[in-house]
Amino acid sequence: MFDIQARQVWLAAGATDMRKSIDGLSAIAQYTIGKNPLEAHLFAFCSKDQSRIKLLYWDRNGFWLFYKRLEKGIFRWPASTEASLCITRSQLSWLLDGLSIEQASAHRPLHATVAA
């Protein structure tokens, strides 16, 4: 159906008005986060009560807008003093599963070197 090939995942810090749709979220991506919404980035936005998340993604000829509303509980949206936060796809998965993006028990990525 679709294949998300996002270079980076960007979280808009703080709360976002969930009445915003594609145009409003694109403006936040461009002017607040500082990234072109037409590039291969995935943008995430969270409601004030942290029960709803919207994801915005440009796919060749149009936008995908994903929306998730929790019936119980909240998303563990990170507190940040910056306007945005760049996270990994693994961290996004944790966030969508109700976990913190800082998983102390997660394996850290290793950068292997080639032996000469």
pTM: 0.84
Given pLDDT bands bounded at 50, 70 and 90, which one contains residue 5? confident
Task: Convert the pLDDT of each residue in 57-101 to its tens digit.
Answer: 998 899 999 999 999 999 999 887 788 899 988 889 889 988 888
pLDDT computed for residue 6 by the predictor: 81
Return the H-helix or E-strand segment holding 44: strand 41-46
Spatial separation of the C-alpha atoms in residues 36 and 52, rounded to whole Å:
24
Domain definitions of the chain by residue range? 8-96
Q: How is 4-39 classified by DSSP, letter by letter? A: ---SEEEEEPS---TT--HHHHHHIIIIII-S-TTS
pLDDT computed for residue 23 by the predictor: 97
